Structure 1
Amino acid sequence: MTMTTTTTQVNPVNPVLRTPPASPAAAAAFFSASLAFHADVSDVASTLAAAAADGTDPGFVVIDSRSTASWDQGHVPGAIHLPTALIPEQAEQLLDRSVPVVTYCWGPGCNGATRSALALAELGFQVKEMLGGFEYWVREGFAYETWEGPAEKAADPLTAPVESDDCGC
Structure 2
Amino acid sequence: MLDYLTAKLAYEVDVLDAAAGLDSGEFILVDTRKQASWDHGHALGAIRLLDNIPAGRTVVVYGWGPGCNGATRAAAALIARGYSVREMIGGFEYWYRSGLDVETAAGTVHPPVHPLVGASGAAL
Runs of 4+ in 1 over 6 A off after TM superposition: none
- Give the number of the structure whose alpha-carbon radius of gyration is greater: 1
SS of corresponding position for 2:43: coil
Question: 3-state SS of the aligned residue for 1:33?
Answer: helix
Higher relative contact order (CA 8 A, sep 6+): 2
Output the CA distance in 1 between the equivalents of 2:17 and 2:66: 17
Specify the alignment match of 2:78 in structure 1.
120
Give the match's secondary structure for 1:101. Answer: strand
* CA positional deviation for 1:47: 3.3
Identity %: 44
Query: TM-score scaled by structure 1?
Result: 0.68
Aligned residue-pair number: 124
| Residues 1:123 and 1:48: Cα distance change in structure 2 (over 3 Å) | closer
Unaligned 5+ residue runs, structure 2? none
Q: Please provide the CA RMSD for this pair.
A: 1.9
Structure with the bigger percentage of strand = 2
- Establish whether residue 133 from structure 1 lines up as the match of residue 114 from structure 2: no
The offset of 1:43, in angstroms, is 1.1
**Quick check: 1:79 aligned with 2:36?**
no
Distance 1:155 1:115, change over 3 A: same
Q: From the superposition, tell whether residues 46 and 100 of structure 1 become closer, same or farther in structure 2 (CA, over 3 Å).
A: closer
1:167 aligns with 2:122: yes
Runs of at least 5 residues in structure 1 that lack an aligned partner in the other structure: 1-26, 52-57
